[in-house]
C-alpha cells in the first residue's frame, strides 16, 4: 500500500494543476512557478556553463573524477528548465555518485523537433570532448526528457558515437502520437496529465512532422544495441503504456532493460522524494542500478 502522504499529494494536484491544453507560454510560466517551490540540496552548487554550445546547469552532486550524469528535464517539450528541475537532477546525481549536467535544450513552439535532440546530442559529445569516457556517463530524463533520453541514445548509436554506460527513464513520454491504451484506461487515475494536453504539446513540438519518427517517438525506434536501460513508471499514469512499450521494444531488440511499475504511483513521483517515501526509494534503487553499470560499489 502506498504511503499516506500520497493521497494528500494527489488531492493537492487535483485542486489545480498546469493547463497544457492552452497557451504554451502560460503553461511554461505556470510550471516554472510551481517548480520554484520544490526544494534543492543547498549544500551543492549550481553553476551555469556551456556544453557544445548549449547552456547547461552543472551541479557538483558527485566527485569531479567520477564521470557525468546528463539529465534531460521534463515539461512536454514546451516547458521546464534545469533550474526548475535542479532538485530532482541533484538527487539523481547523488544517487549515481556523479556530477550532473542539465542542458537548457531548446523548447517548442519556438524551436520544433529535432532541436531538443540536437541539443542533447551536442551536450553529450561535449562531455566526451572534456575527456569523460563514455563508460563513465549516464543519461537520464523524466517525462518528455525520458523520451528525449531514449531518442538521444538512438541518435548517438546511429552516428557511431560511443554510448554511455546506461540510460534511466522516469515516466517516459515516448509515443507522441499518444496511441497507447493507458491514455484512456488510466485517465481517471492520473492527477497531472491528460490525453488532450499531450496531443496539443506534441503538435507544437512536431510542427507538422511525423509523430512516428523514431527520434520524436523513440518507442517506435529500433532499440537494438543501446546501453542498459532502467525504466520506472507509476501504475496511476496515462504514460504507463509508453513505458511498457519501450520495455517491450527494447527487450525484443535484445537490449538489457529493467522495467519497474510502482503500484499507485503518479507521474514522476521521484520528484517528491523529499516527502514521499516511494520517491526516495525509487531514486535509491535507480542509484544502485546506475552504480552497477558504472562498476561502482554502493
CATH code where residue 232 lies: 3.40.50.1820
| Cβ atoms of 260 and 171 closer than 8 Å | no
40 Rama class: left (phi>0) / alpha (psi -120 to 50) / beta: beta
Quote the pLDDT of residue 298. Answer: 58
pLDDT tops 90 at residue 4: no
Which candidate in 73, 81, 91, 143 is catalytic?
143
Q: Which of 165, 172, 164 is nearest to 146 (CA)?
A: 172
Residue 1 has pLDDT above 60, yes or no: no
Residue 139: strand, helix, or coil: strand
Q: Could you tell me which of 6, 78, 83 has the C-alpha nearest to residue 47?
A: 83
Q: Which three three-digit cell numbers place residue 107?
A: 523548447
φ, ψ (nearest 5 deg) of residue 24 = -70, -30
What is the pLDDT confidence band of residue 21, given thresholds at 50, 70 and 90? confident
Does residue 180 contact residue 245 with C-beta atoms inside 8 Å? Answer: yes
Question: pLDDT for 37-73, tens place per residue?
Answer: 999 999 999 999 999 999 999 999 999 999 999 999 9
For residue 232 the three cell numbers come to 520506472
Residue carrying C-alpha cell 533550474: 83
Q: Average pLDDT for residues 90-103, to the nearest whole number?
A: 98
Residue 124 clears pLDDT 90, i.e. is over it: yes
SS3 at position 66: helix
Look at residue 297 and tell me whether its pLDDT is greater than 70. Answer: no
Task: Give the chain as a DSSP string.
Answer: ---HHHHHHHHHHHTS----SS-HHHHHHHHHHHHTTS---TTS-EEEEEETTEEEEEE-SS-GGG-EEEEE--STTTS--TTTTHHHHHHHHHHHT--EEEE----TTTS-TTHHHHHHHHHHHHHHHTT--GGGEEEEEETHHHHHHHHHHHHHHHHTPPP-SEEEEES----TT--STHHHHTTTT-SS--HHHHHHHHHHHHTTS-TT-TTTSGGGS--TTPPPEEEEEETT-TTHHHHHHHHHHHHHTT--EEEEEETT--TTGGGGTTT-HHHHHHHHHHHHHHHHHHT---
Whether 159 is a known active-site residue: answer no
Distances 225 to 118, 156, 203 between C-alpha atoms, Å: 20, 11, 30
Q: Looking at residues 235-261, what average pLDDT do you find?
A: 98
Domain residue limits at 62: 4-294
From the candidates 267, 271, 273, 278, which is the catalytic residue? 267
267 is known as an active-site residue: yes
Closest CA to 152 of 172, 180, 136: 172
Q: What is the mean pLDDT of residues 216-239?
A: 98
Active site residue 237: yes
Q: How many domains in the chain? A: 1
Q: Give CA angle at 56 (51, 57), nearest 5°.
A: 135
Give this prediction's pTM.
0.97
Q: How confident is the model at residue 296 (pLDDT cuts 50, 70, 90)?
A: confident
What is residue 243's predicted lDDT score, i.e. its pLDDT? 98
Amino acid at each position: 500500500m502506498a504511503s499516506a502522504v500520497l493521497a494528500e499529494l494527489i488531492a493537492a494536484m487535483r485542486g489545480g494543476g498546469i493547463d497544457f491544453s492552452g497557451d504554451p507560454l502560460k503553461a511554461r510560466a505556470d510550471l516554472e512557478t510551481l517548480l520554484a517551490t520544490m526544494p534543492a540540496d543547498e549544500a551543492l552548487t549550481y553553476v551555469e556553463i556551456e556544453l557544445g554550445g548549449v547552456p547547461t546547469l552543472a551541479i557538483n552532486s558527485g566527485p569531479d573524477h567520477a564521470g557525468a550524469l546528463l539529465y534531460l528535464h521534463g515539461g512536454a517539450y514546451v516547458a521546464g528548465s534545469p533550474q526548475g528541475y535542479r532538485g530532482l537532477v541533484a538527487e539523481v546525481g547523488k544517487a549515481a555518485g556523479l556530477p550532473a549536467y542539465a542542458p537548457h535544450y531548446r523548447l517548442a513552439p519556438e524551436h520544433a523537433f529535432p532541436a531538443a535532440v540536437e541539443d542533447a546530442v551536442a551536450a553529450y559529445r561535449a562531455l566526451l570532448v572534456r575527456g569523460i569516457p563514455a563508460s563513465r556517463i549516464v543519461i537520464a530524463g523524466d517525462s518528455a526528457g525520458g523520451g528525449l533520453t531514449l531518442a538521444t541514445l538512438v541518435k548517438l548509436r546511429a552516428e557511431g558515437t560511443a554510448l554511455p554506460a546506461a540510460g534511466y527513464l522516469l515516466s517516459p513520454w515516448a509515443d507522441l502520437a499518444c496511441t497507447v491504451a493507458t491514455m484512456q484506461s488510466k485517465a481517471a487515475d492520473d492527477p497531472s496529465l491528460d490525453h488532450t494536453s499531450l496531443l496539443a504539446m506534441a503538435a507544437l513540438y512536431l510542427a507538422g512532422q511525423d509523430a512516428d519518427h523514431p527520434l520524436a517517438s523513440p518507442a517506435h525506434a529500433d532499440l537494438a544495441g543501446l546501453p542498459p536501460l532502467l525504466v520506472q513508471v507509476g501504475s496511476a499514469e496515462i504514460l504507463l503504456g509508453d513505458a511498457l512499450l519501450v520495455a517491450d521494444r527494447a527487450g525484443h531488440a535484445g537490449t538489457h532493460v529493467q522495467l519497474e511499475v510502482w503500484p499507485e504511483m503518479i507521474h514522476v513521483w521521484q520528484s517528491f522524494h523529499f516527502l514521499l517515501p516511494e520517491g526516495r526509494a525509487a531514486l535509491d534503487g535507480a542509484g544502485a542500478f546506475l552504480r552497477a553499470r558504472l562498476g561502482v560499489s554502493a
